[in-house]
Structure 1
Amino acid sequence: MNNTLSFLSKLSKNNNREWFQANKTQYEQAHQEMIAFADELIALMNTHDVIENQSGKKSLFRIYRDVRFGNDKTPYKTHWAGYMRRAGADRRGGYYYRIGLDGVQVMGGFFNPNAHDLLHIRNHLAQDGDILRSVIESKQFKAFFGELLGEKLKTAPRGFEKDHPDIDLLRYKQFIIKHEFPREEMVQPDFAKKLSHAFYQMRPYFDVMTELLTTDLNGISLV
């Protein structure tokens, strides 16, 4: 991660096209380092899950920013990020990581479920919210991830009672979990293994959410 951090540090102070073009070699060195890291991470992930991404390079997001929207017109991101999709209809959820100067965020879950999936999740939770609570309220989950994150409605979703006992879960529009690593850890030679293990910790959560998304309200498989 040394090339990556060195490049990001310089880029954060010189976020303009002139500097970037003049220092393209540093970018390419950092990019190659990140590709190697992403390839290693995918290989590790496939020892305990099945990952759809076959290429570390293609799993990385571009460093170029879309400046068409928002007030920030700086052309480059000052972090690297990658996304890994679980393979198969019987494996739901995705893995995301963000590497920056201040450390690393690992996230997983359901960032923008479509309307059909969101309603299906809510119908399951309205019937039995304990299946999800058994995971997100466990000591292990709270110690590593804290709490379930994501955008929420301010009131009950349409078709659900405001005084439903699981209204706190029904109001979620996204279902995201997150863990953070300090900068000191990401420069260690075994950091890819630590990142893979952090994603492995998400499996009980993914297993529950997969069950909700792949069965009907009677528990009959839909896949």
Structure 2
Amino acid sequence: MLQPESFQFLKDLKQNNNREWFISQAKCYEEYKKNYRQLGEAFIAEMSKVDESLSQLDFKDVSFRINRDIRFSKDKTPYKTNMAIWLSEGTKNTNLAGYYVHIEPGASFIAAGIHYPDAADLRKIRREIKGFYEDLEEIVAEPQFKKIYGALDSDENNTLKSAPKDFDKDHPAIQFLRLKSFTATAKLTDKEVQAKDFVKATSEKLLVLQPLVEFINRALTTE
């Protein structure tokens, strides 16, 4: 489970996001890193029971450095104030879909899919939808999907105003073809994140999205 001290560390870091404070908390950070590893490995073990494609992952494949890349950002705070876990058959440095756990006091959530793929991969996904949209419709119509996630994420930034180039505006799945990112997201409360069964309960929710992950990865890996 997520240790109370780790959750408090994230709260304190948000209020003291500077190098001096961070260095003064070296002992707390060491304990935080241990808990991070425990959670990452626990998610790998739990998720792999159902999604065997994740079974070869190590902690280094699913974890992130706490330091922010501030080179091109207006926000110069040096540290991330969340704990993140990314589980994908392709690990962090490939373009395959996967599952994401975001732990942040007051702003935790889970998601799965692929976030803003590049142009070539986006076209592959749209081509898959064009030919096999019934598969995707079945995935998003599944009762547990609708109960937990509602629908695929869509907003004005994620959705084209018209049909993408070379796709029919009257296609039966035009609402999917217009998407630029293919994810489903659900918020988590602080209570859920700190619960003793956090890993098991969260894994069960994430695995509802396994068919979505497999649909996307089928599109990306099929010649």
TM-score interval, normalised by the smaller of the two chains: 0.7 to 0.9
CA contact (8 A) 2:139 2:212 kept: yes
CA contact (8 A) 2:44 2:55 kept: no
Aligned pair count reads 213
Identity fraction in percent: 34
Alignment of 1:61-72 (within 5 A): 61-72=64-75
Q: CA deviation at 1:81?
A: 0.6
* Higher relative contact order structure (alpha carbons within 8 Å, sequence separation ≥ 6): 2
Q: CA deviation at 1:128?
A: 4.3
Q: CA deviation at 1:97?
A: 1.0
Structure 1 residues 110, 94: closer, same or farther in 2, change over 3 A?
Answer: same
Q: CA deviation at 1:52?
A: 5.9
- Whether 1:146 and 2:121 are equivalent positions in the alignment is no
Q: CA deviation at 1:71?
A: 1.9
Instruction: Find 1:22's aligned residue among 21, 24, 36.
Output: 24
Structure 1 residues 53, 67: closer, same or farther in 2, change over 3 A?
Answer: farther
Q: Which letter does structure 2 place at the counterpart of 1:145?
A: Y
Between the aligned partners of 1:93 and 1:202, the Cα distance in structure 2 is 11
SS of 1:116's equivalent in the other structure is helix
Q: Which has the larger radius of gyration?
A: 1
Q: Deviations over 1:144-163 (max 9, x none)?
A: 11110152222221111333
Q: CA deviation at 1:3?
A: 1.7
SS of 2:38's equivalent in the other structure is helix
Alignment of 1:30-45 (within 5 A): 30-45=32-47
CA contact (8 A) 2:82 2:104 kept: yes
Between the aligned partners of 2:133 and 2:57, the Cα distance in structure 1 is 36
Between the aligned partners of 1:41 and 1:128, the Cα distance in structure 2 is 31
CA contact (8 A) 1:108 1:176 kept: yes
Instruction: Find 1:11's aligned residue among 13, 16, 19.
Output: 13
Between the aligned partners of 1:67 and 1:210, the Cα distance in structure 2 is 31
Unaligned 5+ segments in structure 2 are none
Between the aligned partners of 1:199 and 1:94, the Cα distance in structure 2 is 10
Structure 1 residues 44, 156: closer, same or farther in 2, change over 3 A?
Answer: same
Between the aligned partners of 1:58 and 1:110, the Cα distance in structure 2 is 17
CA contact (8 A) 1:42 1:51 kept: yes
Partner of 2:106: 102
Partner of 1:218: none
Q: CA deviation at 1:127?
A: 3.4
Structure 1 residues 86, 54: closer, same or farther in 2, change over 3 A?
Answer: closer
Between the aligned partners of 1:80 and 1:138, the Cα distance in structure 2 is 30
TM-score by length of 2: 0.85
- Whether 1:161 and 2:168 are equivalent positions in the alignment is yes
Between the aligned partners of 2:42 and 2:127, the Cα distance in structure 1 is 39
Q: CA deviation at 1:58?
A: 4.3
Alignment of 1:150-189 (within 5 A): 151-189=158-196
Q: Deviations over 1:175-219 (max 9, x none)?
A: 00112221112212221111211221112323433444455xxxx
Q: CA RMSD in A?
A: 2.2
TM-score by length of 1: 0.85
Q: CA deviation at 1:87?
A: 5.8
CA contact (8 A) 2:44 2:54 kept: yes
